A and B are shown apart, each in its own frame.
Chain A
Amino acid sequence: MKSLYSSAIFLLSVFVFSSCHDEMNSSYTYRTMMPVYYEMSDIRARVITTEPAQPLDNPGKIYIYQDYLFINEPTKGIHILNNENPANPINLSFIPIAGNVDLAVNGNILYADNYVDLLAFDISNIANIKLIKRIEDVFTHMYYHQTGEIITFKDTVLTSENPNWGGEFWLMNSSMSFSANYSAASQSYGTGGSMARFTLSNEHLYAVDQSTLRVFDVKTASNPTFVKPIDLGWGIETIFPFQDKLFIGSNVGMHIYDASTPNSPTRMAVYEHVQACDPVVVNEDYAFVTLRNGTACNGVDELHVIDINDLYNPTLKKSYPMLNPHGLGLAGNFLYIAEGAHGLKSFNATDVMNIDQNQLEFLTDQKSVDLIPGPKSLIVIGPDGVCQFDYSNPAKLKKLSCIQVTNPTQFY
């Protein structure tokens, strides 16, 4: 017993005399946009061939073409799905395209960005898609001038013990992240959503980045040629074609461009509003713009209806408070709005002065970022996957199918 106590006293003495100093250590875990540098020569050296179908990890933009869905996996490539039966879309194949975030389809030709290059694929044989043209160095804003390499950003979570966290990195910003933006088009082209950065109109492909509209002549679909860049000012987000006009959403307003001379669109007007993120859809008389308050947008949550009968002088007809509107779609007189984490709404927008009085449905459990009123179904893109609805009755949307994603985005 004595030896036990001696041991206890000895141990206690060791503890006491070794140190009664407190310690503190800190760690900082934060989301950031991590810069990643690539040599374009390495990217171009990669052989792009169709691969077997892969599960959707994180869907970005979606393009409908005939019975196919082209779903972009941001910075990784494009999934191709057979959507002949919207109740049962079948994942067919995957095209690995590094740096890809945008796409558009013109006839049998798929256009996709590959960091700074534009690629054209022949998709006439969907089982054997072939790269037929690469236009180099068109999206030059990605070049990092200090090194000549391209710079891209990866959503990353870092842990640091350095209190000066942030460093050279950018704090995560939802607009800089992969973003679920989708393409729009009309006529014989494929169909996309309202949050497009690529669009086809009048035998031309228009691509916007944050400050520039780039025009490509696609008269011969298989041989796109770069025409010229047009400076738009900062904060450009989406592009939507209607007739021979281009409606370009920026975070300070909506630009209207006359594209009747397709290779040289000219600015007609700018409808300015408070700073907000804003996709646009348009019909003959009105433009519908959602203004969204988000991390990068610092604005308000509203739907603006803008009278565009005089395209040189667009005027606000009415604004409606919304919850957190993202993409929107117009099918005839019916307006569909993706309300972010709050759900999905449908309206009868015939009477633009009373849209709020004519809300037809509000699916609060359908988180949604963007939507595309397609020929067979209303395609709704949300953090949990890509869902399709029978929208023959806009007051009673009927879910047909949902493609679950393996790595759902968290959505707030």
Chain B
Amino acid sequence: MFRKAKLICIGLLFLSFKSLAQEKKYFGQTEIGILFGKSEEQWDGSRQRRFDVSFMTFHGAHITKSHVVGFSLGIDQYDEISVIPVALGWRGFLGKDDKPKLFGGLDIGGGSTILEKKIGDQWSKSWYEGGFLVSPSVGISFPSKKDKTALSFSFAYKRQQISHYWGTLIQQGSQVIKNDKLPPGYNSLTENNFLFRSFVFRAGLMF
């Protein structure tokens, strides 16, 4: 799983740097960071701290000098679950050229769990399904003196929904009444809906 995630990161980085040479209308941002959060309540009422890795690239176009719209793509690792966030995004900038700028952003989309394998045997199956994500952010960028790139540091809030399903299968020879509450072929289904709320700190490049 980690190997796959690593490959995707490298691919995204390549995509980002390849875009460096493109014309000014294009805006790109690549960031890596950490997701901070606290786990869901345990049986004893306690919560455990959570530190996860997040990688994101944003690709967009200037609609005005200070506003960019585009899409973001990345990978977030929540404990053992790899999520690929795909979102539509906006970035807005405040400040003069060649000076450090404040920027804000908003990404709205969904997280995919395509990297998670569906596990199953003749008795049961389990799988993940991604869900809604929203992530507002603020940051500061420091322009390079040599070219049009800039270093960026940002803070964000990220809200990501993920569902995990575990179902037992109807065994051969059984007859059951059709029911919309269960997928065909299932005798029972356990659904765990996770809502990850994270504070994110990222550092990266704008280009």
Tell me whether B204 is interfacial, beta carbon within 8 Å.
Answer: no
What CA separation (Å) do A389 and B49 show in the bound complex?
67
A8-56 interface with B by 8 A CB criterion: 8-9, 11-12, 15-16, 19-31
- Chain A nearest CB from B76 CB (Å) reads 13
Tell me whether B13 is interfacial, beta carbon within 8 Å.
Answer: no
- Chain B nearest CB from A308 CB (Å) reads 27
Binding stretch for chain B, among A96-104, A189-197, A290-298, A357-365:
A290-298
- Chain B nearest CB from A170 CB (Å) reads 13
Binding stretch for chain B, among A77-85, A116-124, A313-321, A402-410:
A402-410
Tell me whether A260 is interfacial, beta carbon within 8 Å.
Answer: no
Binding stretch for chain A, among B16-24, B53-61, B124-132, B177-185:
B177-185
Residues of B within 8 A of A93 (CB): none
Binding stretch for chain A, among B25-33, B143-151, B165-173:
B165-173
Tell me whether B6 is interfacial, beta carbon within 8 Å.
Answer: no
Q: Is the CB of B37 within 8 A of A31?
A: no
Within 8 Å by CB of B177, from A16, A277, A294, A407, lies: A407
Q: Is the CB of B104 within 8 A of A24?
A: no
What CA separation (Å) do A179 and B176 show in the bound complex?
9
Q: Is the CB of A31 within 8 A of B188?
A: yes
What CA separation (Å) do A58 and B178 show in the bound complex?
11
Tell me whether A329 is interfacial, beta carbon within 8 Å.
Answer: no
- Chain A nearest CB from B155 CB (Å) reads 7
Residues of B within 8 A of A295 (CB): 170-171, 173-174
Q: Which residue from chain A places its CB closest to the CB of B159 in the assembled complex? A: A15
Q: Which residue from chain B places its CB closest to the CB of A21 in the assembled complex? A: B38
* With A1-B94, A157-B181, A409-B177: A24-B195 Cβ-Cβ less than 8 Å: yes
Within 8 Å by CB of B176, from A25, A159, A292, A410, lies: A410
What CA separation (Å) do A407 and B177 show in the bound complex?
8
Q: State how many residues of chain B have any CB contact under 8 Å with chain A.
A: 48
Residues of B within 8 A of A22 (CB): 37-40, 47, 50, 194-197
Tell me whether A327 is interfacial, beta carbon within 8 Å.
Answer: no
* With A1-B66, A29-B189: A157-B179 Cβ-Cβ less than 8 Å: yes
Q: Is the CB of A29 within 8 A of B94?
A: no
Within 8 Å by CB of A31, from B66, B156, B176, B190, lies: B176
* With A26-B190, A29-B189: A407-B178 Cβ-Cβ less than 8 Å: yes
Q: Is the CB of B136 within 8 A of A294?
A: no
Q: Is the CB of A4 within 8 A of B92?
A: yes
Q: Is the CB of B175 within 8 A of A409?
A: yes
Q: Is the CB of A29 within 8 A of B191?
A: yes
- Chain A nearest CB from B192 CB (Å) reads 5
Tell me whether A169 is interfacial, beta carbon within 8 Å.
Answer: no
Q: Is the CB of B188 within 8 A of A28?
A: yes
What CA separation (Å) do A58 and B176 show in the bound complex?
11
Q: Is the CB of B172 within 8 A of A410?
A: no
- Chain B nearest CB from A305 CB (Å) reads 21
Q: Is the CB of B192 within 8 A of A24?
A: yes
For B45-71 the 0/1 string (1 means CB < 8 A from A) is 001001000000000000000100000
Q: Which residue from chain B places its CB closest to the CB of A32 in the assembled complex? A: B188
Tell me whether B138 is interfacial, beta carbon within 8 Å.
Answer: yes
Provide 25 A-B residue pairs closer than 8 Å at the C-beta atoms, listed in order of the A residue: A1-B94, A5-B94, A8-B136, A12-B138, A12-B156, A20-B198, A21-B47, A22-B194, A23-B194, A24-B40, A24-B194, A25-B193, A26-B191, A27-B193, A29-B188, A30-B189, A157-B179, A171-B187, A341-B172, A369-B175, A410-B175, A410-B184, A410-B185, A412-B172, A412-B173
